[in-house]
Amino acid sequence: MGWEALERWGADVARIEPLAGGVANDVWSVHVNGQLAVGRLGSRSDADLAWETELLHHLVRAGFTVPVPIPTTDGRLFADGLVVMTYVEGGPPETEADWRRVADTLRQLHRSTQGWPQRPGWRSSTDLLHADTGTKIDLGAMPPEAVARCRAAWARLAGRQTCVVHGNPSNPGNIRVTADRVALIDWDESHLDVPDLDLALPHNAADLDTGAHDVAAQASAAWEAAVCWDDAYAVRRLAEVRGV
């Protein structure tokens, strides 16, 4: 249906301008009943979007600052692949102190979501030690040597407790910082996984020791290489993953 679905949010709706950062989705600023919001149109399944919107409501109840899904006029949180969410004010983290606040927020997220179910159709990094596909990941499309390197990085996470991970918090564009809070936006890559994937942050803001930081950095680089394969960014991230 495309952006015509925006009409489901009422008569007083309009797209304003496209927003940066939409790769898998078409992301625009929108007006909904006089409110500035963000619309994200993609090809996710209803089950996938139900998981994400339920997670966001859980996080709001737990005290996190995240985009809040705005319901349609008939009460649905998404329609025909479109989700409309509140606009979150703030700027990207700029200092080491800012990134340490981000790390603290991520650890709170991880504690708050232990035991959460996996996002429908997704696999965790350790699931991919034995599975070949999961949502946007298709290891069969990668060279066998690249798959071996990624799996060697993920094998170091085996046996660890899982929780919801944001999926790409090291991208400053996914963070909105103000003087009194840190907000996490763009939950399109969130899923159940080992928390280390979120903790390879600038300035080693999570204060990981040398060994733990190496595990997190290697696993995160392998994940992003597999998710984005085979564009230039994926090739660059794969180059960071050590050979077997």
Identify whether residues 168 and 69 lie together within a single domain: no
pLDDT of residue 135: 83
Return the structure tokens found at 88. 């979150």
Q: How confident is the model at residue 12 (pLDDT cuts 50, 70, 90)?
A: very high
pLDDT at position 21 is: 60
pLDDT the model gives residue 20: 76
> Which among 38, 59, 86 is the end of a domain?
86
Question: Are 155 and 38 in a shared domain?
Answer: no
* Same structural domain, 34 and 80: yes
Q: Are residues 23 and 122 in the same domain?
A: no
User: What pLDDT was estimated at residue 127?
Assistant: 97
Cα–Cα distances (Å) from 73 to 35, 69, 76, 201, 203, in that order, read 15, 13, 8, 40, 45
The span from the CA of 153 to the CA of 167, in Å, is 16
Indicate the average pLDDT of the chain.
95
- Identify the CATH number of the domain in which residue 218 sits: 3.90.1200.10
Q: How far apart are CA 197 and CA 26, in angstroms?
A: 25
Task: Note whether 152 and 231 are same-domain residues.
Answer: yes
CA distance 104 to 198: 11
Range of the domain at 57: 2-86
In a domain, 244, yes or no: no
Residues 104, 182 share a domain: yes
Q: Is residue 61 left, alpha or beta, with left meaning phi > 0 and alpha meaning psi from -120 to 50?
A: alpha
For 243, the token pair is: 């050979």
pLDDT of residue 23: 61
Q: What is the pLDDT of residues 16-41, one digit of tens each?
A: 999 976 567 899 999 999 999 999 99
- For residues 17 and 38, the answer to whether their CB atoms sit within 8 Å is no
Same domain, 102 and 77: no
CATH number of the domain bearing residue 55: 3.30.200.20
pLDDT digits (tens, 9 = 90+) for 45-79: 999 999 999 999 999 999 999 999 999 999 999 99
Partners of 230 in the β-ladder: none
Look at the chain and report how many structural domains it folds into. Answer: 2
Angle at 53 between CA 229 and CA 4, to 5 degrees: 80
pLDDT number for residue 53: 97
